[in-house]
Amino acid sequence: MLIYIAKRLLVALPTLLIVSMLVFGLQMLLPGDPVLAMAGEDRDPETLARIRAQLNLDDPVPVQYLRWLGGVVQGDFGTSLRTGQPVSELILQKLPVTIQLAVMAMIFAALIGIPAGIIAAVRKGGVLDWTANIVALSGLSIPNFWLGIMLILLVSVNLGWLPASGYESIFVDPVRSLETMIMPAFVLGTGLAATLMRHTRSSMLGVLSADYIRTARAKGLTGRQVVLKHSFRNALLPVITLSALLFGELLAGAVLTEQIFTIPGFGKLIVDAVFNRDYAVVQGVVLCTAVGFLLMNLIADVVSVLLNPRMRAAL
Amino acid sequence: MTAIDMPAPRAKSRFWRKFRRNRAALVGGVIVAFFVLLAVAAPILPIADPLATSWTAIRLAPSAEYWLGSDEIGRDILSRMIWGAQASLMAGVISVAIAVVTGVPIGLIAGYFGGWTDTIISRFTDALLAMPFLIMAIALAAFLGPSLTNAMIAIGLSAMPIFIRLTRAQVMSVKTEDYVEGARAIGLGHMAIMGRYILPNITPPIIVQATLTIATAIIAEASLSFLGLGQQAPAPSWGSMLNVAKNFLTQAPWMAWWPGAAIFLVVIGFNLIGDALRDALDPREH
């Protein structure tokens, strides 16, 4: 297994290298002199010279890239132009907030999507299947920032049940933390629940028509035993893999969710950085997201191998 | 968004027959046609100027005069919704066109030539796919500058790798077919084989993907405009209308109802059509 993981890491390396080139190349898109763009309204020659020196912009592009990459490998993503803080420090501050939001969203998505998918598959063609499909399609089509706004209007403004914004660390005040995070996590989890429902249904339908399920039924097992013990366990494998792959979608969704509910996480960091023209932060966030995505891909592959005896035997 | 199996040429008529019979496709088609008609007819419809402000009509609730209400500076929301449809639909279609026009030829080259060309393009595609769609679009829009045009370019470039990967996979399965071998045997050049024999046979799954991606692109444009990175004020767009509306939730909730409902409806319309196209192509459904 260790050799397998090492091989997969080796395969991911060239991809990571290209990601780093693309992220570095983003600053080439800045129209005109990047220093003027980065300085914004502040055209003071001293500021311009400081930024130019800070970014080594007088060097050839490949040299600039290699120097930047050397820093990144050592965890140095540069310095925020606005706060003067190291970008890695900012990311480490904000990441736990987004991870809490993402984990809660994933729990919501799994609690809604997987049972709905099973029921839809077992009752294929029936009212429950039809309803689950309509709800899933709606979940995929609803813009989560609008859903967030509507929920704030209903739950916070009209009913006054939950706070409309804010954040408290789960380690400081768990109750307050859950109160502030339930609504954003639900909003973020809606689209994922829809995706999970569709995949669980499709996977269950594939398994339910397999020969060994027919055999299990012929042996006289009850419907519940066939569905939960034989079908669900086998159908779950692609769903688990998919859940890991949905990580990217979660992070992208978190950008908007954090903006609506004013949660000081990873997503809000990138949006604030965009408006403050803090390009080092934007680059750092994009790079970290890509690394996280590749890591989750690796975890999905490893989990698939661990859970599937046929794949394990092939190693 | 998943890759779709391509039908054999003789199955095409069955595909279209199956698609036309799908009631979900009909519902999706009607919804999309309604919004397209509104967007196209916006200049000739008897509606107020979407930019005209009125200090006597600030945040008015829906009424006989203002069917969908008015906004924070007295503009007619119905008029802004109709003109906003233009921005949203245009962004959806143009950004997907950018993704198709750039992604399909690259995927075609990777799949057809294989070898090092394929390896390099595939690694590049993997790298692009590692960056989540919206985060990539936000970063690109940030560096290119906030505007609707740049948002469309950003969304198009972010969606491009999906088409590279899909086209490559389709080309790999088609290029070993007898008719491609035949074309090669009679001495046709690479461009002719790709253009006349491969491309027409991989078009259906690309159309399905494009339809589903339009839905994603419309949400992406609305998201970028909501964040202030898409359509700029005072020009109307559903996303930017929601961005303003969130500041007046207690005083004028109707400002938030309509733009979101419109995005939801048009996206569900494209998703219904895309799903129906995909079902019609799925061999398991025959």
CA distance A177 to A165: 11
Question: Angle at the Cα of B145 (from B255 to A56), degrees rounded to 5?
Answer: 145
Query: What is the distance, to the nearest Å, from the Cα of residue A26 to the centroid of all Cα atoms in its chain?
Result: 21
Q: Are A37 and A274 in contact (CB under 8 A)?
A: no
In the A/B pair of chains, how many CB contacts fall below 8 A? 133
Percent with pLDDT over 70 in chain A: 95
Complex ipTM, two decimals?
Answer: 0.86
What pLDDT does B4 receive? 45
Distance from CA of A222 to the nearest CA of B (A): 28
Interchain pair B275, A137: CB under 8 A: yes
Is the dihedral angle over the CA atoms A58, A62, A68, A74 positive or is it negative? negative
* Interchain contact, B143 vs A27, CB within 8 Å: yes
For residue B252, is it left (φ>0), alpha (ψ between -120 and 50) or beta?
beta
Q: Are B43 and B35 in contact (CB under 8 A)?
A: no
In chain A, whose CA is at the least distance from the CA of B126?
A: A15
- What chain B residue is nearest to A199 in terms of C-alpha separation? B2
Q: Which of B285, B284, B283 is nearest to B8 (CA)?
A: B283
- DSSP string covering A190-224, please? HHHHHHHHHHHHHHHHHHHTSHHHHHHHHTT--HH
Using DSSP, state whether B6 is helix, strand or coil: coil
Determine the pLDDT at residue B119: 92
* A109-133 per-position pLDDT tens digit: 999 999 999 999 988 888 999 999 9
| B interface with A, Cβ–Cβ below 8 Å | 123-124, 126-128, 130-136, 138-145, 215, 219, 222-223, 226-229, 242, 245-246, 249-250, 253, 256, 259-260, 263-264, 267-268, 271-272, 275
Does A275 contact B at CB distance below 8 Å?
Answer: yes
* pLDDT tens digits for range B54-89: 888 899 999 999 999 999 999 999 999 999 999 999
Residue with the larger pLDDT of the pair A45 and B208: B208
Q: What is the pLDDT of residue B5?
A: 47
Distant-in-sequence, close-in-space partners of B104: CB < 8 Å, separation ≥ 6:
B163, B164, B167, B199, B206
3-class secondary-structure state, position B76: strand
Nearest to A271 among B124, B227, B259 (CB): B227
* CB–CB contact A282 B142 (8 Å): yes
Among chain A residues, the shortest Cα distance to B252 is held by: A153
What is the predicted pLDDT for the residue at B1? 41
Highest-pLDDT range among A56-70, A268-282, B232-246: B232-246
| Per-chain mean pLDDT for chain A | 85
The answer, yes or no, to whether residue B183 has pLDDT greater than 50, is yes
Cβ pair B135:A255 closer than 8 A: yes
Q: Which residues of B touch A270 (CB under 8 A)?
A: 135, 138-139
C-alpha separations of B99 from A190, B134, B156, B186, B218 in Å: 27, 14, 5, 33, 14
pLDDT at B8: 54
Please name the member of B131, B142, B245 whose beta carbon is closest to the beta carbon of A289.
B131
Indicate the DSSP class of residue A265: S
Q: What is the pLDDT of residue B281?
A: 78
